[in-house]
Structure 1
């Protein structure tokens, strides 16, 4: 039994106003090729199919066309697609009846029946080429407040009630699924953050309800043959080799440039599980300039010229550049200056970060923690402005901030 585990597609994402449609189309074509070439029996999409809760008609069309194309190339393919924290859960489920005609089981929220998990919605039989059920998929989407069982914190039960509620939900779902599945292996999904993992700074929201950020990996029963996770964009296993994040298909932020983006190919045979990370090619280059450290605006043109970008490259396929600038003077107007330089090259600006070298005076002991209620908002604004731009705010900046405070 072969399962292809993927997640965090973020269809519809833009970077600094630039579309990523070329990359998404190329990824979904590569995914279709993998399904056919590897004779995949089941595809699991572990959340964040879309980038936002109001995807465009073009984004939805791309999704449905891709799911249909994969089914046509592999007529026995079953797909489990669950909602992530970015997804419009209801909209993902709305065409469920139609999607099932092409073997796609879409789950946006938790469903119950008679006080128990609705197995008709959450337990999906995964069949081999001969039509025999070899595995059951337990489809659990991103868990919202309404999905979790009500638990009260008591002195005898330390720790987070949210984590305990998440653990209880998985335990009950597993128990119901195991009763139905008998000895047939179970594969579960999840869209959350597990402890002991590496996250992408600035790319992934801290999503667990109740203020909690992560759950321990042992919330997943050890009898599960495999746990397909989404939310963290770096491909990685979580303590146990059969609990994995597949990662996103390509870099979604500057932090993710070093990642080996791809999908996870899972093979189950006689109770044994083999996991292989399949690295995917990058259709559009995503480049940090310079590779390390920062570059001055004076040296930026020379650096870009040495990279020898293709002048005939179509706009929608031009490289994304994340530029880190090291100011050699006042930083006011520096971003506009860098933008003007980049406009002379066949590239697309993804981000510009101003980074000042740390002085010996700055590299002292850590600052004392402050109570924000005791701070003047204008002082905080001036500090943040100076750290970001390298210069103190002008009177017009302060006036604009004051106006915002009045409006709020």
Structure 2
């Protein structure tokens, strides 16, 4: 029996993009996704983590998710929604609303659960997927973002993060093999940074302590499809059935050329290996355009004047503009206003200005960006560390990120009380 499902991830509901909310863009994406669900009627929708942008999402972001789940259940009552927590999510928070999710045929796996005897609670992580006749057509192995504090020190196999990660995969895959029938597929959903994955500048670092990106060797050959989240660029990792779906909207200007998509997958485990997969990328329409403009000042002004005109009344629907101008001289005090005046009125939002000196060799220390959003903890640490005259050693940065992760975990624990 074939199983049909959608693979998506990294929605980042509630994100602010250079201090501008993305609610309109997310609404457009979710409405488009509802149309795909209505037409295709998949057995399952997999959301591979980073559902929200922060661990304490605003009420508007939570409303977007739960309204979507209600609407999806109305138009596809047989479809299951399975989602896992990413590194931006609070695993405890997304699990707390389980009674609500059940009404919409949805399930959230936010944290790794352990039994009283310190063994892994596999039933929590291994979820069946049913067809319209309520037959199990697949098992989904759900692995949320693996925080070191949540997976180490429980038994002899979890003395450190590397051992614990290997143990989790081995135990879960072994039980999935035992339960699997010949006509059932095995799908593994994980939020992780895999070796060989291509990153953008908007992904929060999740390689902490002394840990490295994970190897695809963790995935047994019996796994029919690996649905990954965390990296925002749609891509396969090594093999065609190990994939990042990518984010539905660009989360930074470095993602301006990404082909955002939802992956439609059909697997018939009764067929031979080369015939059992069908993949189709469903391109997501971009509701708000991004423009990255660079060059010497004269060229920048010319590019700004050549932007398409036509007023966009709603501010949250106006297009984003990022400017990097090249110069040998300090900026004029009213340069930002000159940029604003050069653009067609009431259509664009100038959200970032960067200055790059032409004489790079002698002026590297003078190059800087004017960011209109607060720095991340990592960037702030690097700035202060370098200001004190120290070089940013990789091991020092990893130690700092480990502390940030522990602080974030502490905030999640407080939120779950």
Cα pair 2:288 2:318 within 8 Å, conserved: yes
Distance apart, 1:151 and its partner CA: 9.9
- Choose the corresponding residue for 1:387, options 367, 376, 383: 367
Partner of 2:127: 124
Question: Structure 2: how far apart are the matches of 1:26 and 1:219?
Answer: 36
Cα pair 1:187 1:224 within 8 Å, conserved: yes
Task: State the secondary structure of the residue aligned to 2:108.
Answer: strand
Cα pair 2:50 2:88 within 8 Å, conserved: yes
Cα pair 1:342 1:349 within 8 Å, conserved: no
Q: What is the TM-score when the length of structure 1 is the normalising length? A: 0.81
Partner of 1:357: 358
Question: Structure 1: how far apart are the matches of 2:141 and 2:108?
Answer: 12
Q: Counterparts of 1:141-290 in structure 2 under 5 Å?
A: 141-150=144-153, 162-183=161-182, 184-200=184-200, 202-269=201-268, 270-271=270-271, 272-290=276-294
Distance apart, 1:116 and its partner CA: 3.0
- In structure 2, the CA distance between the partners of 1:227 and 1:16, relative to structure 1 (3 Å rule), is same
- In structure 2, the CA distance between the partners of 1:344 and 1:17, relative to structure 1 (3 Å rule), is farther
- Choose the corresponding residue for 2:113, options 88, 94, 111: 111
Partner of 2:16: 14
Partner of 2:95: 93
Distance apart, 1:299 and its partner CA: 4.5
Cα pair 1:318 1:347 within 8 Å, conserved: yes
- Choose the corresponding residue for 1:75, options 74, 77, 81: 77
Task: State the secondary structure of the residue aligned to 1:277.
Answer: strand
Task: State the secondary structure of the residue aligned to 1:331.
Answer: coil
- In structure 2, the CA distance between the partners of 1:73 and 1:358, relative to structure 1 (3 Å rule), is farther
User: What do the CA deviations read for 1:207-236 (whole angstroms, capped 9, x no partner)?
Assistant: 034232411111111211111100000000
Distance apart, 1:143 and its partner CA: 0.3
Cα pair 1:124 1:137 within 8 Å, conserved: yes
Cα pair 2:353 2:369 within 8 Å, conserved: no
Cα pair 1:325 1:355 within 8 Å, conserved: yes
Question: Structure 1: how far apart are the matches of 2:356 and 2:364?
Answer: 14
- Choose the corresponding residue for 1:140, options 137, 140, 143: 143
- In structure 2, the CA distance between the partners of 1:13 and 1:342, relative to structure 1 (3 Å rule), is farther
Distance apart, 1:338 and its partner CA: 5.8
Residues paired across the two proteins, number: 362
Q: What is the TM-score when the length of structure 2 is the normalising length? A: 0.80
Larger radius of gyration: 1
Partner of 2:64: 62
User: What do the CA deviations read for 1:161-205 (whole angstroms, capped 9, x no partner)?
Assistant: 6334322211111112322334432111111111112111x2112
- In structure 2, the CA distance between the partners of 1:152 and 1:195, relative to structure 1 (3 Å rule), is farther
User: Larger deviation: 207-216 or 3-12?
Assistant: 207-216
1:322 aligns with 2:325: no
Question: Structure 1: how far apart are the matches of 2:111 and 2:369?
Answer: 43
- In structure 2, the CA distance between the partners of 1:152 and 1:140, relative to structure 1 (3 Å rule), is closer
Cα pair 2:152 2:161 within 8 Å, conserved: no
Cα pair 1:110 1:147 within 8 Å, conserved: yes
Question: Structure 2: how far apart are the matches of 1:115 and 1:233?
Answer: 35
- In structure 2, the CA distance between the partners of 1:334 and 1:248, relative to structure 1 (3 Å rule), is farther
Question: Greater relative contact order (Cα 8 A, min sep 6): structure 1 or 2?
Answer: 2
Partner of 1:375: none
Distance apart, 1:13 and its partner CA: 0.6
Task: State the secondary structure of the residue aligned to 1:355.
Answer: strand
Cα pair 1:261 1:280 within 8 Å, conserved: yes
Distance apart, 1:81 and its partner CA: 0.7
Please give the root-mean-square deviation of Cα atoms over the aligned residues, in Å: 2.8
Question: Structure 1: how far apart are the matches of 2:167 and 2:208?
Answer: 15
Partner of 1:307: 307
User: What do the CA deviations read for 1:219-266 (whole angstroms, capped 9, x no partner)?
Assistant: 111211111100000000010111100000011001100111111111
Distance apart, 1:340 and its partner CA: 4.5
- In structure 2, the CA distance between the partners of 1:73 and 1:166, relative to structure 1 (3 Å rule), is same
- In structure 2, the CA distance between the partners of 1:163 and 1:334, relative to structure 1 (3 Å rule), is farther
Cα pair 2:233 2:247 within 8 Å, conserved: yes
Cα pair 1:138 1:188 within 8 Å, conserved: yes
Q: Counterparts of 1:22-41 in structure 2 under 5 Å?
A: 22-41=24-43
User: Larger deviation: 62-71 or 30-39?
Assistant: 30-39
